[in-house]
Amino acid sequence: MDYLALSVQPRICVPSLLSAEAEIRTLDRIYQSFSRSLILASSSTATLRLNQPQTTMKYLLPLAILSTTLASHAAEIRLADCPPEAQKTIQQNSRGGRIDDIESYSIQGKMLYVADVEFAGNRDLKIHVAADGALVKTREDITLADAPEAVRKAIESKLSGGKAYDMEKETGGDTVTYYVEINRKGSPDLDLTISSDGKVLSEIEDVD
């Protein structure tokens, strides 16, 4: 299998992909999945549990570097500055909300556009779009009541007397993933990543 090396140090390799759309989706998924792990760098103590055998602690530093590198190369632009195909996809998926700002990222020479859409009730929607207009994914604020029953039960099993807040739903193709932060009294706060069928994919305990 051929590999594509990201231009950051240390080197991180992911399988080479058949299309620009798929490549951007994979790289963006790596960035988003681990960006929440940057809490490790800002807290004095943290415990990370990932329920995916192929993912280990040794990836956290390089992925943190990747996250920081991508963020440093983000550029704020106007909707009119996006390619026409990307503009169309952003507008079609904005759901009547107000397009607040757009950031562009260059990843291995491929462009990714992330539009932040605002709704009433202080809810946000992020639309991730490739330069050719392909919808990579969306990520939106939701409430506990908006989540499927299996996801709610998984969250409730982790509350330990705490409260769920800052919930997000991520949709990429046919895959839907939920992210939630839990504020627990007397216990470390907890970040959860949950699949649509209620499986807890990862947990991060934050101890200040």
Q: Is the peptide bond before 10 cis (omega within 30 degrees of 0)?
A: yes
Percentages helix, strand, coil for the chain, rounded to the nearest 5?
Answer: 30, 40, 30
At 139-157, the pLDDT tens digits run: 999 999 999 999 999 999 9
Top pLDDT among 13 and 176 is at: 176
Spatial distance between the Cα atoms of 139 and 165, rounded to a whole number of angstroms:
15
Spatial distance between the Cα atoms of 93 and 129, rounded to a whole number of angstroms:
10
Domain ranges of the chain: 3-207
Please state the length of the chain. Answer: 208
Spatial distance between the Cα atoms of 32 and 198, rounded to a whole number of angstroms:
20
The distance of Cα 119 from the centroid of its chain, to the nearest Å, equals: 19
The half-sphere exposure of 63 on its side-chain side, counting CA atoms within 13 A, is: 21
- The C-alpha torsion from 98 through 101 and 195 to 160, rounded to 10°, is -90
At 175-204, the pLDDT tens digits run: 999 999 999 888 889 999 999 999 999 999
Task: Give the pLDDT confidence score for residue 76 in this predicted structure.
Answer: 94
Best CA proximity match to 139, nearest among 101, 184, 93: 93
Best CA proximity match to 171, nearest among 143, 139, 194: 139
Spatial distance between the Cα atoms of 155 and 115, rounded to a whole number of angstroms:
28
Answer whether CATH 3.10.450.360 is correct for domain 3-207.
yes
Task: Give the pLDDT confidence score for residue 70 in this predicted structure.
Answer: 53
- The type of residue at 76 is E
Q: What is the mean pLDDT of the chain?
A: 76
66 near 12, Cβ under 8 Å? yes
110 near 130, Cβ under 8 Å? yes
Residue 201 backbone phi and psi in degrees, to 5 = -85, -35
Distances, alpha carbon 85 to alpha carbons 9, 79, 96, 134, in Å: 33, 11, 19, 8
The model's pTM is 0.69
At 17-47, the pLDDT tens digits run: 334 444 444 445 444 544 443 333 333 334 4
The percentage of the chain sitting over the pLDDT mark of 90, rounded to a whole number, equals 54
